[in-house]
Amino acid sequence: MQEMSTALTAAITELFSTEVPVELTRSEPQFGDYATNVALQLAGRVGKPPREVAEQLVTKLRENSSLPVSEFTIAGPGFINIRVNDEVIAASAEQATTKQPQQFKGQEVVTEYSDPNPFKVLHAGHLYTSVVGDSISNLIEKAGGRVHRVNFGGDVGLHVGKTMWAILKELDGEHPEKLQDIPVQERSERMAKCYVTGTNAYEEDETARQEIIALNKHVYQLIADGDHDSPFAQIYWTCRTWSYDYFNTFYKRIGTPFEKYYPESEVAPLGLQTVQEQLEKGVYEKSDGAVIFNGEKYGLHTRVFINNHGLPTYEAKDVGLIMSKWRDYHFDRSVVITGNDIDEYMKVVLKSIEQYEPELVKRTTHFTHGNVKLQGGVKMSSRKGNFLRAVDVLDAANQANKAATGREDEQAVLGAVKYAFLKQRIGADIIFDPKESVSLEGNSGPYLQYAHARARSVLSKATTPAEHFYDLDEWERPLASKIGEYPEVLEKSVRELMPHHICTYLYELAQAFNRFYEHAHVLGDPRESVRLKLVGLYADVLKDGLGLLGIAAPEHM
C-alpha cells in the first residue's frame, strides 16, 4: 500500500509540518485491511491527544478521492483502520505469486551448510542444517541471487587419525584389499563405529593416543605428497570416497543439492599460508610453539591457529575456507549455518580475518542453531556413539506416518521433517515429535501438502473456466486478502533469511481457506467461476511457499 503511505505522509506534512515514519500493518479482517499507529507517534510531538490527531488525519485523507479506500475508522486511543476497495484486494491476490523480492538481484551468494566430516556419520544436526540451508538458499534465489551451495568437511584432523587407527586394527594392518569385503550398505556405519573405537582408545590408552597422533600427521603428509598408491594412502582415499558417496546419496534423498565440497585438506594449505603471512604482520602471534590470535584484545577469547606440531587447526582451516570461497566466487554475500556450539569460535575466526580482509567479514553472515532431539531424548555425542543420526529422524517420522496412514510415503515424511524443522525460528534447540510432524490435523507439512492436494482436486472437477474478479463477498474477501499478503511475508523472510515466516503464513492461509470452504460452495454455485479463480490462486501460493521450504506440493494424496 505504497499509495496509502504516501498519502499519509503528505497529510502529516500538511497538517503538522513534521515527518514521522509511516508504517501500515495488516489488520484483523473485522477491523479493516490495514492499520497504523502514526497518530500515537505524532501526539507528543504536536501536543495533541492521539485520537484528535487521528481524526484530523482521517478527515484530510477522506478529501483524497483518488485513494482506493472504502472506509477509515478510528479505534482505541487513536489507531487508524483502513478498509480498501475490493479491486485492491483482488488485484493483490492475483499478483501474489508474480511479485518477486529483489534484495539479492544480480548478487553472487555462497551458502555453506551441513558440513559433515568424512570418516564420521551424518547426525541430526547435519539434517537440520541441510534443510534450513536449502530453504535459505531458495529464498535468496527467489530474490534474484545466484546461489552457490557449498559444503565444508574435515577429511584431515584428529578425528581422521582416530578412525584410521581403528580401521587399521580391523584390517589387521595396511591391507587395502580387505576393504572390498565390506558391503556397501555397511560402510558408513563401519566407519562411525571405528571413530567411536578410536576416540575411546585415544582417551584411555596412552600408546594408542601417540599412534593416533602419528597417523594424523601421516594423513597430512600423504596429502601433501600427493600419495595415492601406498597401502595406507589407498585405505585413506577409499574410505574418504565412501564418505562422500554416502553424503551424496543422503543429500539426493532429501533433495538438497551441493555445487561444491570443500575438504579441509584442500583449504588447509591456503589457511596455513595466510596465517603465517599475517603472523609476520602482527595479526597472529607465537605462544609456546604455537600460533594464536589474541582475542582478549577484542573482548573474545584466544585460540590456536597453528599447533605446536606446525599443523593448521580448525581455525586456520576456516581461514582457508573463507579465502577459498572468495577466490572461487567473489561473493557479494556469504551465509554460513552451523550449530550454536561454535558461535564464539566463529567470532574469533572472523575477528582475526577482519584485521586483514575486513570486506570478506562484512559480507559474511553466520547463523547458528541448537541441537535436534527426539521428544524425550538426550543430547547427542558422536564421541560416545549415542548420538541421534540423520536417518534416525527420518525413520522415526516414517514409522509415525505408517502408523497413522498404514502406508509408506517418502514425500510426506520429508514434508513432515522439513516443516517441523523450518516452522521454528533458527537458533533454539529443536525437539522433534514424529507423531506430531506427520499429523494431517495440525501445523504440519503433511497438513499443508493435503491442503494443496485438496484445492487441486476442486479445480480438477470444475467445468466452468475461472474468471478474474473485482467484487468479493463476505467469505471470499478474507481469503483473497490473505492470499495477497504473500509478497509481504516473502519480503520479510528474505530480508531476515528466516523461513519460519513462510511456515506461519502458509498455515494461516490454509486455515483461511478452510473457513472459506466451510461457508462458500464452489462447484455449482452462481459465483463458481470467481471462486475457482480464488481456489487456483490459493493453490499457487501454497505450492510456491512449499517449494521455498523444499517441500513437494502433491496434486493427490
Last residue of some domain: 373, 404, 439? 373
**CATH number of the domain to which 60 belongs:** 3.30.1360.70
CATH number, domain of 532, equals 1.10.730.10
What is the amino acid identity at position 488? E
What is the percentage of the chain residues whose pLDDT exceeds 70?
98
Q: Sheet holding 108-112: strands in order across?
A: 260-263, 146-153, 108-112, 333-339, 364-369
Residues 411 and 334 placed together within one structural domain of the fold: no
Last residue of a domain, one of 69, 84, 99: 84
Q: Are 341 and 285 in contact (CB under 8 A)?
A: no
Write the single-letter amino acid at 459.
L
Q: Which CA distances in Å does 547 have to 171, 357, 551?
A: 46, 36, 5
Specify the pLDDT at position 375.
Answer: 76
User: Does position 63 have pLDDT exceeding 60, yes or no?
Assistant: yes
Arithmetic mean of pLDDT, 279-300: 96
Q: Are residues 72 and 40 in the same domain?
A: yes
Q: Which residues contact 468 (CB under 8 A, 6 or more apart)?
A: 90, 94, 533
CA-based nearest residue to 73, from 21, 36, 25: 36
Kindly report the CATH number assigned to the domain that includes residue 144.
3.40.50.620
- Residue with more model confidence, 11 or 171: 171
Give the residue numbers spanning the domain of 73.
Answer: 2-84
The DSSP secondary-structure symbol of 39 reads H
pLDDT confidence of residue 4: 83
For the chain, the average pLDDT equals 93
Q: Does 183 share its domain with 324?
A: yes
Q: How far apart are CA 443 and CA 400, in angstroms?
A: 16
Q: 211-263: per-residue pLDDT in tens?
A: 999 999 999 999 999 999 999 999 999 999 999 999 999 999 999 999 999 99
62 in a structural domain: yes
Q: Are 410 and 510 in the same domain?
A: yes
Q: Are residues 402 and 369 in the same domain?
A: no
Residues 333 and 404 in one domain: no
The reply to whether 209 and 255 lie within a common domain is yes
Q: What is the domain count for the chain?
A: 3
| Phi, psi of 432, deg, nearest 5 | -95, 120
Please give the model's pTM, rounded to 2 decimal places. 0.92
**Does residue 500 share a domain with residue 355?**
no
